[in-house]
Amino acid sequence: MANLQTVDDREETEAARAYLSKEGDGLKKLIHKSIQAREFAYCPYNKFCVTVDDREETEAARAYLSKEGGGLKKLIHKSTQAREFAYCPYSKFRVGAAVLAHDGTIFTGCNVENACYNLGICAERNAISKAVSEGYQSFRAIAISSDLHEQFISPCGGCRQFMREFGDSWDVYLTKPDGSYEEMTVGELLPVSFGPEDLTKKKVHAIQEF
């Protein structure tokens, strides 16, 4: 593939070398940061599940999206900026996403492919995972952008389920490169969905004859 970056192109820089040098204590810091990130783990299934009711929309996110603030336009623009970083040497299909957390913080993501094709990750899951890894689990909106000229970019089924994990009432903006968009909720994109609440519902304890 013509535009495929080889490992040889990715040279270790002086900054990274210096960071890891023994004098700088960088390795210790790197390990410490991984320990700090662990604190934000979203792993409700081996302990108690966080409920969707706990994740209330805050005034900050509402204000951000209000028409006066131009926030929605900015959110869409950030998704197009993230698209520029897409690592997609195989599909050459660039996607960017920008997710708005409850307090107005925005996290971006792009698709990141892999030579082992099925290990690639979509822009939407990338952005949401970045947010979760920094302590956010409550989202108000996500904007998605691609290079498709005549069509609003639509999230794949896997990403719809991934979004649904964090509630079904938040907004998804499917955009075109000219900034136009279609607004849908997660619930509209994934109706009759299965989510964390379903795991806590009443179950039978034996296979029933019928």
Q: Binding residues for Zn ion, per CB under 5 A?
A: 122, 156, 159
192 is in an annotated binding site: no
Of 14, 23, 39, 124, catalytic: 124
Residue 88 CB, shortest distance to Zn ion, in Å, is: 12
Distance CA 202, CA 192 (A): 18
Query: Considering Cα of 187, then 120, then 96, then 14, what sign does the dihedral take?
Result: positive
90 is in an annotated binding site: no
Instruction: Give the burial class of 53: count Cβ atoms within 10 A of its Cβ; 0-12 exposed, 13-18 middle, 19 or more buried.
Output: exposed
113 is in an annotated binding site: yes
Task: Name the token pair of 29.
Answer: 């810091």
| Contact assessment for residue 128 and residue 106, using Cβ atoms and an 8 Å cutoff | no
Q: Which of residues 82 and 159 has its CB atom nearest to Zn ion in the complex?
A: 159
The radius of gyration of the chain from alpha carbons, rounded to an integer in Å, stands at 20
Q: Which of residues 159 and 174 has its CB atom nearest to Zn ion in the complex?
A: 159
122 is in an annotated binding site: yes
Residue 118 CB, shortest distance to Zn ion, in Å, is: 12
Nearest to 100 by CA among 145, 48, 147, 65: 65
Instruction: Look up 124 and say whether it is catalytic.
Output: yes
Instruction: Give the burial class of 15: count Cβ atoms within 10 A of its Cβ; 0-12 exposed, 13-18 middle, 19 or more buried.
Output: exposed
**Closest CB to Zn ion belongs to which residue?**
122
Q: Which of residues 69 and 157 has its CB atom nearest to Zn ion in the complex?
A: 157
Q: Which of residues 126 and 138 has its CB atom nearest to Zn ion in the complex?
A: 126
111 is in an annotated binding site: yes
Residue 150 CB, shortest distance to Zn ion, in Å, is: 20
Terminus-to-terminus CA distance in the chain, angstroms? 57
Residue 26 CB, shortest distance to Zn ion, in Å, is: 34
- What are the residue numbers of the active site? 124
Question: Which residues sit in the known binding site for Zn(2+)?
Answer: 122, 156, 159
Question: Which residues sit in the known binding site for substrate?
Answer: 111-117
